[in-house]
Amino acid sequence: MAFNLAFLSSVVIILSAFSPVITALSSNYYDKSCPNVDQIVSNAVKKAAANDRTVPAALLRMHFHDCFIRGCDASVLLNSKGSNQAEKDGPPNISLHAFYVIDNAKKQVEASCPGVVSCADILALAARDAVVQSGGPNWDVPKGRKDGRTSKATETRQLPAPTFNISQLQQSFSQRGLSLNDLVALSGGHTLGFSHCSSFQNRIHNFNATHDVDPSLQPSFAASLKNTCPVNNRPKNAGATMDPSSTTFDNAYYKLILQGKSLFSSDQALLSFPKTKNLVTKFATSKEAFLDAFVNSMIKMSSITGGQEVRKDCRIVN
């Protein structure tokens, strides 16, 4: 499924944590300066995914976490330096991985067109390719982002947390120019990947004064999660897949929410507001409706800009 982005030749959603910038993105931005960039990045993602099935989920999550802090400026890729702890070392990002895939893609892009393509664009392309590699939709990624020069671990507290309720989620998304439709569609990215116990333990132990377990969880599903994630003596990397088809990009996530089998409080929260509940039901019923909405919301989110330069090395500023 390909989507034409002619209408996005001058996308303008601008939200940088500081000093917002107006940036026109275009799907043909590199047509003359680096015509093979899409193919180079796609090949790098394909190669990595063939060796490690967790790569697509990791790249999609990395892009989300990049865009929600200072816009899609590749600030999530920068290494900590001296006393400055970078975003990748902030608590919500400790489990991010597959940075090497972006490094490899950047190296190959630099060999073909040195100094032209930003790391932010490479990450946006890689996220799209991660979805495609998982059997999801394809789309033209608008390009022309710049890389940021600032990355602070403390700012990762701005990321929406798995414990958020619907009003917290709505506020987090609206601050970035994203709607309730975008919230529900982008939450569908949870169709891919794995979660450690820490992200959902609030639902299965000491949920509130009345219930030990979140009563909205389907009982046998809750029991299996408690078994995987005991209060004490938990295995170091214990957790659960986001849905049973965790390497396939599909609409199973929405069906699970309706069955009381979603992992996060923030997933279950989508049922607590009529508009978002209706969208969950719509996407659970129609995979095509979900894929269309996901693509539109990905384009919108990935067009939040905020950088200043084209990095030579994605891990360090120029």
Residues annotated as catalytic are: 65
**Rounded-to-10 torsion of CA 184, 190, 196, 197:** 50
First vs last Cα of the chain: how many Å apart? Answer: 38
β-bridge mates for residue 11, sequence order: 25
Q: Is there a binding annotation on residue 71?
A: yes
Name residues whose C-beta falls within 8 Å of residue 71's C-beta, 6 or more positions apart in sequence.
14, 15, 16, 17, 148, 304, 305, 306, 307
Q: Is there a binding annotation on residue 73?
A: yes
Q: Is there a binding annotation on residue 121?
A: no
Q: Is there a binding annotation on residue 274?
A: no
Which H or E run contains 175?
Answer: none
Q: Is there a binding annotation on residue 92?
A: no
Residue found under tokens 């701005």: 158
Name residues whose C-beta falls within 8 Å of residue 171's C-beta, 6 or more positions apart in sequence.
none
Q: Is there a binding annotation on residue 97?
A: no
Query: Which alpha helices (H) appear in the chain, and where do they start and end?
Result: 37-51, 55-67, 99-112, 119-133, 166-174, 180-187, 201-204, 219-228, 252-258, 265-268, 274-285, 287-301
Q: Is there a binding annotation on residue 160?
A: yes
How crowded is residue 114: how many other Cβ atoms within 10 Å of its Cβ? 11
d(CA 100, CA 108): 12
Q: Is there a binding annotation on residue 148?
A: no
Q: Is there a binding annotation on residue 66?
A: yes
Residue found under tokens 């890729």: 77
d(CA 39, CA 37): 5
Q: Is there a binding annotation on residue 313?
A: no
Annotated binding site for substrate: 160
Annotated binding site for Ca(2+): 66, 71, 73, 75, 87, 191, 243, 250
Annotated binding site: 66, 71, 73, 75, 87, 160, 190-191, 243, 250
Annotated binding site for heme b: 190
